[in-house]
Amino acid sequence: MEHRLDTRHGRIHVSDTEGTGLPLLFLHGSSTSRHVFERQYHPRLLEKARILALDLPGHGASDDARDPERAYMLTGLVDTVEDVLANLGVRRLVVFGWSLGGHLAIEMMARSHSVEGVLIAGTPPVAPGLIGMLRGFHPSFDLMLASKPNWSERDIDRFEDSCFGHAATPDIHAGLLRADGRLRAVVSRSLLHGDGHNQRRAVLEAGVPVFLVNGADDPFIRQSYMAGFEDRTRDHCVELIEGAGHASFLEKPEAFNAILERFIDTVVARRAMRAPRVASSS
């Protein structure tokens, strides 16, 4: 089912598979749309989860923000997502966020007990400030494009190639053309200034499952930095997908979806452990 829902920052388009499974929210990266997740809609996952995928403000079929300086901050984007969930009556969920969507997922987890687990891809959980950013990211011209408000045709082609390579689709290209470039500038400043919670600390201290999944060939991420978040005793798992770059879920969907299913199973198992036991009658 497709929804158009009003939020404090504009009307948002949401795809909803409905059903009774664990609500699983997909959050896309900057200048793309919900269509990047088309290879995650496979039968096994649909049996386990109610998938919600939205277009962030300024993306896809959603409205551009009425107040970009507020709405396109990291915290403003999370406010919008939370408005959507409230409209849908979703109180408990897990979140899969890619790139910018991963940063939003971490902020959601840090500010709300409604998030029972996060899986992030292509997203280093960085501490506030320039030094924190440089520890998690490889600085490059291609990365800087994510903060540039106005793109030339060459910029679009270069960003598409660095993020998706040969996995790019016509829907992805259309999303890049449609995106409100003001978001790139505002949200990049927001991340640099550390708006919201300290993302590094939020992940290290998280009491819920956190899966950090990256392509081995991701041009933006420092893999040595990501390795420091591994703690299997707390279901904090760092996964590397060989032969994939920044969009591992699109480039290597079978390998990625297997990890995504394991993440869902981990959260469901935790739910079962917390469920009250019914005393048997004697």
pLDDT tens-digit profile of 18-46? Answer: 988 999 999 999 999 999 999 999 999 99
- Residue 280: inside a domain, yes or no? no
The b-or-e profile of 141-160 (16+ CB within 10 A means b, else e) is ebbebbbeeebeeebbeebb
Q: Do the domain assignments include residue 277?
A: no
Residue-level pLDDT at 19: 84
Q: What is the token pair recorded at 13? A: 């388009």
Total domains in the chain come to 1
CA angle 73, 94, 7 (to 5 degrees): 40
Judge whether 143 lies within some domain. yes
Quote the pLDDT of residue 282: 36
Residue 226: the pLDDT is 97
What distance in Å separates the CA atoms of residue 9 and residue 85, rounded to the nearest whole number? 14
Residue indicated by tokens 């770059």:
245
Residue 11 is assigned to a structural domain of this protein? yes
CA distance 67 to 136: 30
| Residue 120, φ and ψ in degrees, nearest 5 | -120, 140
Return the amino acid letter for 268.
V
Structural domain of residue 120, as residue ranges? Answer: 2-272
The mean pLDDT values, 10 residues at a time, for the chain of 282 residues are: 96 95 97 97 94 98 97 98 97 97 98 96 96 94 94 97 95 96 97 95 97 97 97 97 98 98 96 70 40
**The predicted structure's pLDDT at residue 186:** 98
Residue 237 within any structural domain of the chain: yes
Please report, for the domain that includes residue 36, its CATH number: 3.40.50.1820
